[in-house]
Structure 1
Amino acid sequence: MSVNELIAHDKGLDNTLDLLKEGYLFIKNRTDQYQSDLFETHLLGQKVICMTGEEAAKVFYDPERFQRNGAAPKRVQKTLFGKNGIQTMDGEAHIHRKNLFKSLTTPLHQKKLAELVLERWQASVDKWEGTKKVVLFDEAKEILCRAVCQWAGVPLPESEVKDRAEDFGAMIDAFGAVGPRHWKGRRARNRAEDWIKGIIENVRDGKIKAEEGSALYAMAFHRELDGSQMNTQMAAVELINILRPIVAISTYITFAALALHEHPECKEKLISDDNNYFEMFVQEVRRFYPFTPFLGARVRKNFIWNEYEFNDGILVLLDIYGTNHDPCIWKNPNEFHPERFKEWKGSLFDFIPQGGGDPAKTHRCPGEGITIEIMKTSLNFLINRIEFEVPEQDSSYSLVRIPTFPESGFVMTNIKRKIQTIDK
């Protein structure tokens, strides 16, 4: 008997329908059932290894063992990532491209973008005060779209904001979708790439002046390892890979508002911000609520881990949601408890809402700091800049739907600007 025959195997010839039925819990359900950190299954006609936990994350983010080239399905590249984007690269080429993204996500950039987001939130209040109800999820997408395009130097007429924000949202929504949602995401991707390609071409032709240091300038004039300029298509894909993830933070902001509503005991702690409570609250939102379900990579070379032989080329999925809810890592993982982050040591592999490992060397998202700062700024706005009521609504969210968000989008009514504000 081979070592691999000792490992748990899913029943059936293909388990894709089970994945669609179980969503975020597909991997976790099985690791719990099999009492194992990994198991074999078959998805979309191929053998797949699924694994979870801190030790699994350490292995998964070892570039000597895994590569991203060939891991992202074409359907995901045609909606979420863009064809041949940074998420599909490895080795020196990946590090070189990653350095470009890192240069645009420094603490200074984080601060500037968060300030622009706050300005946009505050500018929306006048309109909201005369509105019967506001759906936070929808508003957040437009506010983040305006702010990130202004920060990046991308021209965005006010008349186009809603459509551009919806296109970015459709790309994100298509990640785990089949049928109409997937096709909507593909159409949105095509429109966005055509739009950004035209802007890149105008920058290179001198018809649009891009400010040096902006994301638009950086992508338009980036040089590859061989010294060549990125082609227009690739430059557009990577600029969208800066813009789209910022709009995706609208999901986290909506979950943060839901957490605030469902856990009112947290509000006073946030107002006083004792022991950096804003940071803890935001991190707990990112841990507790579903965002990324899992991530994929392919085995670079044969190796054995956990008594299992990983063969070259096999697709492996790391359970992001399950690792963030792993009782071996987190005490009472299904309870919302921001104080758990008071003692958190900042491990690179136990808390992985946007990937694991060193962001300078692995595929962990370099924009994680931006996500945290925008969430803190938005939360501060909701607590200290406005007051509102939360009417009865369906605020549930499905763990089957990938990606997911509160069903109602979080409805707010009777919104008023606070006369006295507290800056955080």
Structure 2
Amino acid sequence: EKKIRSFSTSVLTKTYIIALTLVAVSSIAAYVTMHQLTITQETSAAIVNTSGRQRMLSQKSALYSTRLATSTDEKEQKKYRKELTNALLLFEKSHESLTRIDSYLNIFGDPSEKIDKIYYGPPNYLDRRLKTYKEEIIALMSTEKEDLSADNPHLKKILASAPKILDSLDLAVSQYQAESEAKITLHETLEMVFLSATLLILLLLALFIYRPIVKRIENETDKLNEANLKLLQLSAVDGLTGISNRRAFEEFFEMQWRRATREEKPVSAIMIDIDFFKNYNDAYGHLKGDDCLKSVTSAIRRSLNRPADMVARYGGEEFIILLGDTDVDGAMNVAKIVKTIVEDLKIRNKKSEISDYVTVSAGVATTIPKPADKRADLIEAADNALYKAKHAGRNRIKKAKVSRLRQYRLR
């Protein structure tokens, strides 16, 4: 059984470690996917924005080129040359960002085949057209003042190529958007897959690992509780007679005392002693003495009819009975029954000075406890009554009426 339990525990432990590893891997993968999704979204926005800016700069360059060629004001021409210079710088930077690896835009890797075809392949040849477009603008900016006009050949080439460039840029923007959306969809799908896998593994953990572990813990806890209960019972039971010991009696007595105080009901104690038991032991030996104690215990137990009544071995050959909600007359009646049943056992005692058989003496005490009273005084009263019974010749019962504890009188 130990080997099976050890094997089962080992399997559960290994399975648990594997499952946790899978959860960790799946969670990390989900996190990485979410991170990549965020990067893709940011990159897509940057690419689309840059593509749109490139288109706007193309239009702006065509407009400034027209104004430069048609203006006759030298200051305005200077202004348009400056605007064209700035536009070309931004245009070149945008073009480089879109066609090459650019860490600023988080573009890691070459453009796709479709993007590459738009820029470098037929029928668009966008890269070539943009370079030619830029060269024509630079040539226009270098043209002398007297050669600038609406019929300038550089301006005509610029205006002729501008629509085709805009169409190609629109195509590039659309392609960038489509590819970005595809990447975002892929990352979202992967994210859902990894999150679903994590949840599935956690569910399997709960069903096939956590549940058996919890069940085993519950079983072991139940066994431990049973063992503790047995130990508690053993610690509360007299080993020889099988009835409650003094420790258990004190705990039960405290509970009954509080209840009697709260409900203002009587509680009675009967202290019982086997007459001349030392002489019996000396005459018959300790084994016979133990048998005698067991027989007397059985007789006392038979005299109690209510589950709430308790008998305990108080020490040596002394026993004590606690009777809740019982007045002095009821307690005296129980004591008489005990005395009679013990006599009926007919256990011979040749060393007894009062009878040929084993007899008992008893002291009875009853009180209705008040909050200020001490329960030890009830035991003392019963013990004193027992002393009076033994002093009066044994094999008899004496009772003490307790008006106020510590103040009792014999009847």
Larger fraction in helix: 2
TM-score, length basis structure 1: 0.18
**Structure showing greater Rg:** 2
**With CA pairs under 8 Å and 6+ residues apart, which has the higher RCO, 1 or 2?**
1
User: Normalized against structure 2, the TM-score is what?
Assistant: 0.19
